[in-house]
Amino acid sequence: MIEVRIHGRGGQGNVVAAYLLATAAIDEGHFGQAFPAFGAERRGAPVVSFVRIAERALRRRNQVLQPDFLIVQDRALLKVPGVLDGLRPGGGILVNTSLDAATIGEQVGSAVVTLPATQLAKTHLGRPVPNTALLSAFLTLTQILPMDALTKALEQKFRGDILERNLRLIEAASQHVPAGHWKERAHATGA
Amino acid sequence: MRQALEGSQAIARAVALCRPQVIAAYPITPQTHIVENIAKLVADGKLVCEYVSVESEFSAASVVLGAAVAGSRTYTASASQGILLMSEVLFNIAGSRVPIVMTCANRAVGAPLSIWNDQQDSMAVRDAGWIQLYCADNQEAVDTTIQAYRIAERTELPVMVCVDGFTLTHTLEPIDVPSQQQVDAFLPPYHFARTLDPMKPISMGTLVSPDFYPEARHSHHQALLNAAAEIVAADADWCALTGRSQGSLVQVEGDADASVAILTLGSVIGTLADAREMHPELGTVKLIRLRAFRPFPSEALLQACAGVTDLVVLERALSPGGGGIVGAEVKAALFDMPNPPRVHNFAVGLGGRDIPLDIYPRLLQAVRSQSPRPFAVFDVELDKLPAEDR
């Protein structure tokens, strides 16, 4: 089972990101589960969502306290208490920032990969919504699902121009991170 | 067909497959996504029905009551304060013996205000005279919603399908959505025998004098008890049609001959089941889930408790000044057993507090290290309270 925790801010598509990742997994024949830890949602407030991907039915309903991977949609959230809590030894952190991994790594002190997802989203979508770029990078790093699975999940969610722009965005994002960098780690979890 | 769906979206589709003719609802977290999804199905022309956006939950319940006695198949949904606001009408619906299906997206009740999950809302109306079924996961929520229409229409009783708010309503997971043919085969068009008809006038909801009121109450109670057979039959027939059983009145899993059992309602059973598998070193444990809470499944409960010496009743609500609600009812039922188990009664996860996997070893530790004590909120953190409140 792979457990992922996604941190973002209201308006960044945190829940959509979790749902897209689990949908892609389910449509590929795996078991998937995604759910938010809702606060009273408002734009800009820190929000959290969770994803589990497994090869058997997922029955537990508890929050992901010990994620294999963290996706952080806003670098400033790294300073929020609890955001880095529980990351399993050897786990990976994907951070949306234009800074390089070494700079962020000084702050976080773990296996960080960075992606300028907001910048890429502005270029390709015309809007600063980083979620789909981060999912693309996450799949490129872990190779737990083919990129085609994300494409299909996006096709269920978006249409027309927005879909086209998202497809260009995920293509661009996948070029920014080392393919298979977290593959061993992802496979060690047994998913 | 297996699809990735949010619980609310799946429930909305299940409702639509049942071809309701009148839906009335007022949005309230965490029920909102259900009625929004249904409204979208109506707007898109995928569900042809009268969708009434009302100004309160009291009106939502009143509209479906009126529509049902006019002969329509109806639906509504609510949660928390919404359930309380419609509670007067809920009693009237049940007492009038009108078949209505509603979803309760279980949520805590204020004050203090909480939008998160527990089961205080449906427990607060357990005496309204509705059938209450509690779902473990979203597949069960889908299947039970469809079964609920058949149960309601065969018993002329309303059915409340209780689904843990957020924990289920806002969780995306794989769902096998049944086909329209399957649902149509299971749920034929319905005619309400007491449909109000100006050509054959009858009165409903009239004043009943002491000459007949106790008989009305007795027959309502008997009708609920008799409904147990319809709940069992609906699940069995649904299983024959789809291959999926959702557990009848009481679902038992784990070690059949265990002397320790944990009993609960709703989705927390999944977390307990995973934890049980992770902890074989903690010995054999049976897991008991009350799928039906009204009618209360005493007989099935006693069977499930055979050989059990310690029973943990884990509930998601409480009666302040009394203690556990489910615990009190379970104890009452067990009183008829020759060697009843010791009951350890705890509330857990109130107001949406996360119920982690380690709740399982902690519960077993509590059972094995102490004699049953009075009801307690298991995950309370007393250091957060002033000394006089502990």
- Domain with B292 in it: what CATH number? 3.40.50.920
Q: Are B346 and B316 in contact (CB under 8 A)?
A: no
State how far the alpha carbon of B274 is from the alpha carbons of B282, B283, B288, in Å.
13, 14, 14
Residue range B12-70, pLDDT digits in tens: 999 999 999 999 999 999 999 999 999 999 999 999 999 999 999 999 999 999 999 99
Name which of A19, A31, A60 is nearest B6 (Cβ-Cβ). A19
Residue range B232-280, pLDDT digits in tens: 999 999 999 999 999 899 999 999 999 999 999 999 999 999 999 999 9
Do B6 and B45 sit in the same domain of this protein?
A: yes
- For B279-282, which contacts have Cβ atoms below 8 Å and span 24 or more sequence positions? B279/B360, B279/B361, B279/B364, B282/B360, B282/B361, B282/B364
pLDDT at B145: 98
A52 Cα distance to chain centroid: 12
pLDDT at A40: 61
Do B232 and B311 sit in the same domain of this protein?
A: no
Residue from A6, A61, A145, A154 whose CB has the most chain B CBs within 10 Å, to mutate? A61
Q: Helices marked H in B162-212 — which ranges?
A: 180-186
Residue type, B52: V
Closest CA to A54 of B247, B254, B145, B277: B277
Give the three-state DSSP class for A116.
coil
Name which of B116, B172, B356 is nearest A62 (Cβ-Cβ). B356
Closest CA to A181 of A135, A131, A150, A144: A144
Q: How many residue contacts between A and B have a Cβ separation below 8 Å?
A: 71
Give the three-state DSSP class for B103.
strand
Cis peptide before B111 (omega within 30 of 0): yes
In a domain, B196, yes or no: no
Do B17 and B90 sit in the same domain of this protein?
A: yes
State how far the alpha carbon of B307 is from the alpha carbons of A152, B166, B194, B256, B297, in Å.
51, 36, 47, 9, 18
In a domain, B202, yes or no: no
In a domain, B217, yes or no: yes
Considering only CB atoms, which chain B residues are within 8 Å of A22? Answer: 4, 172-173
Do B227 and B186 sit in the same domain of this protein?
A: yes
* Per-residue pLDDT at B369 exceeds 90: no
Do B219 and B256 sit in the same domain of this protein?
A: no
User: Across residues B102-108, what is the average pLDDT?
Assistant: 98
Q: How far apart are CA B130 and CA B109, in angstroms?
A: 19
Enclosing H/E stretch for A37: strand A31-37
pLDDT at A42: 74
Q: Are A132 and A180 in contact (CB under 8 A)?
A: no
Q: Are A43 and A30 in contact (CB under 8 A)?
A: no
What percentage of chain B exceeds 70 in pLDDT?
Answer: 100
In a domain, B203, yes or no: no
Considering only CB atoms, which chain A residues are within 8 Å of B2? Answer: 26
Considering only CB atoms, which chain A residues are within 8 Å of B287? Answer: none
* Per-residue pLDDT at B168 exceeds 50: yes
Do B170 and B282 sit in the same domain of this protein?
A: no
| Domain span including residue B184 | 2-191+208-242
Closest approach of chain B CAs to the CA of A103, in angstroms? 34
pLDDT at B44: 97
Report how many domains make up chain B: 2
The number of CA neighbours under 13 Å toward the Cβ of B227 is 31
**Backbone dihedral region of B111: left (phi > 0), alpha (psi from -120 to 50 degrees) or beta?**
beta
CB contact (8 A) between residue B115 and residue A32? no
Residue range B270-320, pLDDT digits in tens: 999 999 999 999 999 999 999 999 999 999 999 999 999 999 999 999 999
CB contact (8 A) between residue A60 and residue B270? yes
Q: Find the CATH number of the domain harbouring B58.
A: 3.40.50.970
For chain B, say whether A40 makes contact (Cβ under 8 Å).
yes
Residue for token pair 């699809």: B3
In a domain, B261, yes or no: yes
For chain B, say whether A32 makes contact (Cβ under 8 Å).
yes
Tokens for B360, please give them: 């399982």
Do B7 and B154 sit in the same domain of this protein?
A: yes
In a domain, B197, yes or no: no
In whole numbers, what is the pLDDT of chain B averaged over residues?
97
Do B226 and B279 sit in the same domain of this protein?
A: no
Tokens for B50, please give them: 């009268």
User: Across residues B322-348, what is the average pLDDT?
Assistant: 96
A residues 57-76 lying closer than 8 A (beta carbon) to B: 58-63, 65
pLDDT at A191: 45
pLDDT at A189: 73
CB contact (8 A) between residue B4 and residue A32? yes
Other Cβ atoms closer than 10 A to B256: 11
Strands B285-290 and B292-294: unpaired
Q: How far apart are CA A182 and CA A185, in angstroms?
A: 5
pLDDT at A76: 94
Do B128 and B147 sit in the same domain of this protein?
A: yes
pLDDT at B1: 75
Do B258 and B358 sit in the same domain of this protein?
A: yes
pLDDT at A110: 64
Per-residue pLDDT of chain A (191 residues; tens, 9 = 90+): 999 999 999 888 999 999 999 999 999 999 999 999 876 667 788 899 999 999 999 999 999 999 999 999 999 999 999 999 999 998 999 999 999 998 888 877 768 999 999 999 999 999 999 999 999 999 999 999 999 999 999 999 999 999 999 999 999 999 999 999 999 988 887 54
Tokens for B337, please give them: 């057993």
Chain B residue at shortest CA distance from A65: B356
Domains and CATH numbers, chain A: 2-188 (3.40.920.10)
In a domain, B199, yes or no: no
In a domain, B86, yes or no: yes
pTM: 0.97
Q: Encode burial over B127-159: b for 16+ CB neighbours within 10 A, e otherwise.
A: ebbbbbbbbbbbbbbbbbbbbbbbbbbebebbb
Do B133 and B264 sit in the same domain of this protein?
A: no
CB contact (8 A) between residue B172 and residue A36? no
Q: How far apart are CA B371 and CA B279, in angstroms?
A: 23
Q: How far apart are CA A77 and CA B375, in angstroms?
A: 40
Do B131 and B183 sit in the same domain of this protein?
A: yes
For chain A, say whether B110 makes contact (Cβ under 8 Å).
no
Main-chain dihedrals φ then ψ at residue B219, nearest 5 degrees: -70, -30
User: Across residues B321-325, what is the average pLDDT?
Assistant: 97
